[in-house]
Structure 1
């Protein structure tokens, strides 16, 4: 079982904030589905106008037209709007440059990797690089003499800086090639200057700088080294997450209503610190246990920041309010639109999305943390079972899975790592809540979501929560294996609650996952089955197999073309088959696994799933004294295994020793185990 890694595409727009995968490919389909196709040509024409006001109008119009409208965005792309906007970044009129940057920023956010790659290929970095020293110089002037700069002028500069920074961090997620080019720009001092002056700057701009730092320090050695080696930078980051100072406000002057983005800012700083850890002396951050003292205390409350069902319902109501606004009152192209003109319902939807994205961000950071905790190499003292006080507390927890009792023994046997008890006891329940889909979590089968940004954020949260659960249970399993302590079967009721919550989530997702536009549903299954395997493997023999669930796992294994998903399905079935009293379910699962073996398989089973199936059968029937072993004898399974040996040998020989060394070693081990198992069962004479 592999651990889930942080997924870069999830940080921004997963990978599209306003996806167009539900549309047939090609410009014709986009033309047919866009209600604004007649406005496209005038915009492109005015982008090249001699009149600066018309060029500015065209840039603003792009931002307005693409809002939650993938069809129109695709049409504009087909008319080279990206190239036209990049050209406007070198416009002689400053206002045109500012609006062009805003339009490009919105295209990056909504459009995903493809549009960012197009920007990079059309050399957007050339003009962006020239803006950085200009922004730095202007920023220094504002900070040193704030009274000499009109507030409106400051706002324009801060918004422009936010747009430039956002484009840069979107581009950095596009490809390694783009990242390498961005590494040549002196961005760390530029970005850290915003964090250092966070009390005097708008939280939106400061948060964008932190987001850019978070992306740039993700397994990117040059940026990590530059940031980690500067004690002032790391001390600044530490002060953000440890500070008791008032939360930054929208206008940077601590007068407005607190902005939810301030929490996002702190979460991002946690992520940056984790990206660059371990932090060396002489930085004050080197003296702190980041995971225990910084990451967990900051991120744990974030998981309960918002109720997803309530958020979906609120979004639905706000969408209805927006739809009820008469068309004449809406912003139109004829009225010289402004990019900051938004209705109250639009602003509320943005605030809601900010909260959801903050939860998603916290989950992403925790997924990386879960991949390293608990450390199976850490010394583990041999302590007794936990006391029973928590069981009394659990009885009072209504409406939530009773997971504490099942995890209590794990916590008590792993006191060597101080973060483990807190982590495992406090995160499982909120994670199980966050995997449950809502009414807006997925696009309907026949079209786009009524509000794509909300749907994108919700589905990203579900997937990130599944990934975090996946790593949590794998880490728990590894820790219990290394300490020789396992969860007892007496906790089966608690385990079943966890198991059923996972299946409840997947049941809402449904099985119609291959329809265009339903990619997120498919992802939920691909990751969710890995979580099922982790839970089943951790409490192997304690879960009573359900006939419907077994059939779903078999169907998924047959239907998917992803070898890793097949392996997860087989691994989960293997664990379910080992419930001692479920003789009939054992027979059904075993017959399915045997059907995957050569030469009887209807279609050749890919190598990794084949090896998993062979290993599963050996593990299931390694103890001939179990009640279900009667299936092995009556079904003459030994004969089937003997017939499969040559096919397994052939499959192992076909694994490239150089390219797939680990798989080859694994294959040889399974092959040898199969031969030894056959000899063992033959020797039993039963």
Structure 2
């Protein structure tokens, strides 16, 4: 049976909706604006104007327009990047800021290809020169360059997030290597630009943005990490230890924890254990918070604040009205003015949304923390990708070279170092992750549903749950059963996951959730089967899961469901009176193997069939009842022809290796069934 691969998150990775909204300059976003013909040439010409106001206007106009994806090509065709790049060093700070904003929105709305094209057009040279100037500015000058820094660091974050440019360009040219190093240096410096509490100021957003950028730029970037100075690590550790209150601080520290984890290979040997413990402690602090309860408290605080503010405004309006002495004949006007003050105070209410930002920061911190834990529980093997890239019936047989290249085995806890293993257990990470796999608080969801501004948090809460399920998948795959609480704990966990997968059909239709939940359940059932621990999933539930999976567009979900069918079926085959259940499973697997358009899914269905009907009297009887042998004989030439026809153009080398192995196993399995048939006839 195919082994469930650990999953690994990389930057860029996590936003099912594309680039985060925060990477676009929010005040300029007008999503509902209709498409317009882009006057790209005229605006780009204005960038060359000797008048700074005209240049600023042109940059601001471009910044707004490129948020409509259909107009981006017209700007790119006219070398917008090369036109805007020099303005990052314009003598006018306002022009610098708007030019950086235009490039920022272009990078965010244009996607990965546009970001890569921007790097190729050497936008890093003026950008890093600008960042170097910002870095060299003294604290007294900060208020004059704050807007420029915010846009510039956001642009750098976008480029790192979308294209991994800092790593990609580091080996290209001397100037680009220097640009990458300056990016690194600026990212580090801005995570600690201010002393003390001012570090966490989000009015500028530079510290948090720089931390995001640092998290991205440190990932798998050996050239930049080669010159790491001890002072940098000490600086990052000081931020990590700065345990101030507030969710913004927590979000900042989780990002720094991610950067420190990325730098683990550069840590001095005598500080590794201490630093690792600080990293895991930060992640544990974020994960253990009850986000539903915090959201309810913050929402209540916002409601009370707004009510108090409104009451204060009403009192002020009443006092003003009482002090005014209406003149003869002006009573109607005065009463009208007083009535407006009494009924419309929206323009007098504060625009702050501090509570909502706190809630958003908490969920972002929890998501980031869970992503980091996922990577902690994952081998560094680059082949540890999504399952659909590496399904197999027996990986140890399919490609002898795979193990020498670093292939990992599901049940090998050795992929975790003793230090990481101990740190995760010491901070109760498995238990805390398990609690985050629960569905979001219904009370918090209800409150958020009633507020348009807070409604966006529902999706963020659901995403945290999905990350926790993926995290649980990797924890199960990398820790010994005893460390997780033994057989009883696993059975309790199986019941919990079964309720998640089978108990909430409306949520289970969401592909992201279904992928994460089935991956975790699959890992758990594999472990339980290997230890002969009784399972708790009924055949009826399995059929429901199989039905839902066949309607899902995600290959990984269909593969997970088939693997779960195979695991459960192979366990049932060893039990008495299981023929009927085995027939249900066998027919479902045959249906998928015959009809699914994706060969990886077909291969997984065949793989599961091999496991279910490999041995046992119950399996033999069920195989005869569903006429498994003639069905597989009919399928064999079709599978072989399809593999030859579609293979090289549609599937990766790893997938082809797996599929070819399944083709060989199919021939062998047919031979095995024929031998059983001959024995029965004799």
Is the 8 Å Cα contact of residues 432 and 502 (structure 1) preserved in structure 2? no
Compared CA separation, residues 416 and 190, structure 1 to 2 (3 A): closer
State whether structure 2 residue 535 is matched by structure 1 residue 542.
Answer: yes
The 2-side partners of 1:113 and 1:440 are apart by 36
Residue 329 of structure 1 corresponds to none
Aligned equivalent of 1:508, options 506, 509, 522 = 506
Q: Give the CA deviation at 1:299.
A: 0.7
TM-score, normalised on structure 2?
0.68
The 5-angstrom pairing of residues 102-117 of structure 1 reads 102=101, 104-105=103-104, 108=107, 113=112, 116-117=115-116
Is the 8 Å Cα contact of residues 60 and 100 (structure 1) preserved in structure 2? yes
Residue 554 of structure 1 corresponds to 547
Whichever structure has more helix as a proportion of its residues is 2
Compared CA separation, residues 454 and 280, structure 1 to 2 (3 A): closer
Residue 357 of structure 2 corresponds to 350
Q: Give the CA deviation at 1:644.
A: 4.5
The 1-side partners of 2:520 and 2:40 are apart by 50
Aligned equivalent of 2:613, options 599, 604, 621 = 621
**Structure with the greater alpha carbon radius of gyration:** 2
- The CA RMSD over aligned residues, in Å, is 5.1
Is the 8 Å Cα contact of residues 533 and 568 (structure 1) preserved in structure 2? yes
Aligned pair count? 570
SS at match of 1:173: helix
SS at match of 1:531: helix
The 5-angstrom pairing of residues 365-514 of structure 1 reads 365-372=372-379, 376-377=411-412, 419-420=424-425, 422-433=428-439, 454=457, 457-458=460-461, 460-476=463-479, 479-480=480-481, 488=487, 492=491, 494-504=493-503, 507-509=505-507, 511=509
Q: Give the CA deviation at 1:107.
A: 5.9
Residue 404 of structure 2 corresponds to none
Q: Give the CA deviation at 1:223.
A: 1.9
Residue 215 of structure 2 corresponds to 214
Aligned equivalent of 2:252, options 265, 280, 290 = 265
Which 5+ residue runs of structure 2 have no aligned equivalent? 24-28, 170-175, 311-347, 381-408
The 2-side partners of 1:664 and 1:40 are apart by 52
The 2-side partners of 1:116 and 1:347 are apart by 32
Residue 586 of structure 1 corresponds to 582
Compared CA separation, residues 129 and 45, structure 1 to 2 (3 A): closer
TM-score, normalised on structure 1?
0.68
Cα displacement string for residues 625-670 of structure 1 (whole angstroms, at most 9, x for unaligned residues): 55x7643343333443455455566677776799337426743663
Residue 653 of structure 2 corresponds to 659
Is the 8 Å Cα contact of residues 652 and 667 (structure 1) preserved in structure 2? no
Cα displacement string for residues 142-195 of structure 1 (whole angstroms, at most 9, x for unaligned residues): 3xxxxxx3xxx4223244323322211210222256642365412233333344
Is the 8 Å Cα contact of residues 306 and 356 (structure 1) preserved in structure 2? no
The 5-angstrom pairing of residues 67-106 of structure 1 reads 73-74=68-69, 77=72, 80=75, 83=81, 86=85, 88-102=87-101, 104-105=103-104
SS at match of 2:18: coil
The 1-side partners of 2:53 and 2:299 are apart by 36
The 2-side partners of 1:196 and 1:31 are apart by 34
Q: Give the CA deviation at 1:362.
A: 0.9
Compared CA separation, residues 114 and 666, structure 1 to 2 (3 A): same
Residue 338 of structure 2 corresponds to none
Is the 8 Å Cα contact of residues 440 and 458 (structure 1) preserved in structure 2? no
Aligned equivalent of 1:275, options 257, 262, 270 = 262
The 2-side partners of 1:163 and 1:110 are apart by 15
Compared CA separation, residues 36 and 88, structure 1 to 2 (3 A): farther
Which moves more between the two structures, 563-572 or 368-377? 368-377
Aligned equivalent of 1:678, options 673, 676, 680 = 673
Q: Give the CA deviation at 1:344.
A: 3.0
Is the 8 Å Cα contact of residues 439 and 465 (structure 2) preserved in structure 1? no
SS at match of 1:367: helix
Q: Give the CA deviation at 1:428.
A: 1.2
Q: Give the CA deviation at 1:543.
A: 2.4
Q: Give the CA deviation at 1:469.
A: 2.6
Which 5+ residue runs of structure 1 have no aligned equivalent? 21-29, 143-148, 248-257, 325-340, 381-413, 444-448, 512-520
The 2-side partners of 1:163 and 1:131 are apart by 11
SS at match of 1:89: helix
